[in-house]
Amino acid sequence: MTQQVDVYDQAAYDALQAKLVPLWKSIERLNTDEQTIVVVPSAHVDVELTASQLQAYEERYLFLLFLLRQPRARMIFVTGQAIHPDIIDYYLDLMPGVIRSHVRSRLFFLSPMEATYRALSEKLLDRPRLIDRIRELIIDPDRAHLVPFMTTWADRELAMRLGIPMYGADPKDVHFGTKSEGRKLFAQAGISHPAGAEDLHTLEDVVAATMGLLDDSGGINRVIVKHNDGVSGFGNAIVDLTDLPADATRSDVIKERIRAMKLNDHAGTIDHYLETLAIEGGIVETMIRGEDLPSPSVQMRITPLGDVEVLSTHDQILGGEDGQVFVGSRFPANPEYAVQISRSARKVGELLADRGVIGRFAIDFMMTRIDSGWQDHAIELNLRKGGTTHPFLTLQFLTDGSYDEASGHFVAPSGQQKYYVASDHLEAEGLDRFTPHDLLEIALMENLHFNQATQTGSVFHMLSAMPTYGFVGVTSVGDSAAEARERYETVVSILTREAAASSK
């Protein structure tokens, strides 16, 4: 049976992580070497999701199955509940240049079969026999690694129980990904970011910080409060500062405005919001103002060798009543500023590398127009995979192309540039009447599927969310930004039409 481990034993964990270095060198040099990839897409968020929503987010990372194009790679993919066979077949059918039976022999799906809202790694830690089963499927622990979604102490303990390293930030370093520490790193890197204050825990802290911002710049009329660990815009709330009195009652009015700020749908009451702030802390900062305010992001990684790499840039598609919720992305980011934000982001990446951080992370920006072009303002550092990870890696794995940091373009081996529009929340009235099989059949009949010959078309994800919640994820790829947008809009149009027809 699996033995208990001291998750806080740093020396033991560091020794385990050292195995990543020779493994990484081998993988980079030759992709035919044997390796086992253990995928545990565990999400730890302070937004209340149902078990089926959590399952859909775990299934976003089925694109990692494309790694099985490497002929000696084995994969153990763990999800909270079993994945529908139609969804698995869909991803296997997308893979070019493989024999399905050969891939199947190297692919193992496991599940604790627990339909509750708990992080997947926590479900596994409660089941030592299931952990033993994973270990039995790993041929050589020295040539295996764990791929989490976001790293916590539970994920670190899981890696130590399995006896394999984890490719992701050490939980002792994840504070660098909080909103407060992000602001500090932006300042140390010398890149532009909004005026504000960090390490706030109480309502009084937020009031005092807001008063300070007003004293420094009386022209502001809105500030934004953010929880340190907020994800995808959840935990963000905007405070209206218009028409404030100039007398001694100003702070009381600001407190009332904060208590009246509009929260995201899943945030609960203002009291719950403030309770979360007290536990994890947060920031307040001025809202960037302007008529044209795109919000791009830069995706990066620090390898086990300490190399800092810019992987991609995106323009985020934001929704929600106040435009604070991430709903999708356009790739790559606008060429007018894609290279510029990469340069700024790299400065932060170098600071993280100096601190020994490894793994994927992203930096979000707001852009404002200036006479010479654009000014970038760093607003968030997310030390984890995110909503732009799966569409980009899907494109990369399916085309064998790569992103060029110097030009801001993604180029396939043919020399053709590639673009996409992606969303995790394509919704339509009546879409909850569809099964995954129904949607895939419609995609086939309407010629929506990704075509390997042209390397264009659409790839679907989060299929298990559709029958219950009426939304699905999609990544639409084209040879130009206009074609990618047109393909995405065609998917939306056809699914809306078919969903409406199914409701009659």
Spell out the domains of the chain, with CATH numbers in brackets.
10-167 (3.40.50), 195-286 (3.30.1490), 296-502 (3.30.470.20)
pTM for the model: 0.91
3-state class of 319 per DSSP? strand
As given in the structure block, the two tokens for residue 257 are 């405005």
pLDDT (0 to 100) of residue 117: 84
**Chain segment 308-349, per-residue pLDDT in tens:** 999 999 998 877 666 667 788 999 999 999 999 999 999 999
The amino acid that residue 227 corresponds to is H
As given in the structure block, the two tokens for residue 494 are 């056809």
pLDDT of 230 over the 90 cut: no
In sequence order, which residues have a C-beta less than 8 Å from that of residue 455 and are 6 or more positions away?
398, 399, 412, 414, 416, 418, 477
As given in the structure block, the two tokens for residue 456 are 């264009």
Higher confidence at residue 108 or residue 219?
A: 108
- Looking only at the bridges linking them, the beta strands covering 325-331 and 419-427 are antiparallel
pLDDT (0 to 100) of residue 27: 75
pLDDT (0 to 100) of residue 54: 85
Q: How far apart are CA 41 and CA 43, in angstroms?
A: 6
pLDDT (0 to 100) of residue 266: 65
Q: In this predicted structure, which of 62-71, 214-223, 430-439 has the lowest mean pLDDT?
A: 214-223
**Chain segment 196-224, per-residue pLDDT in tens:** 999 999 999 999 999 999 987 767 889 99
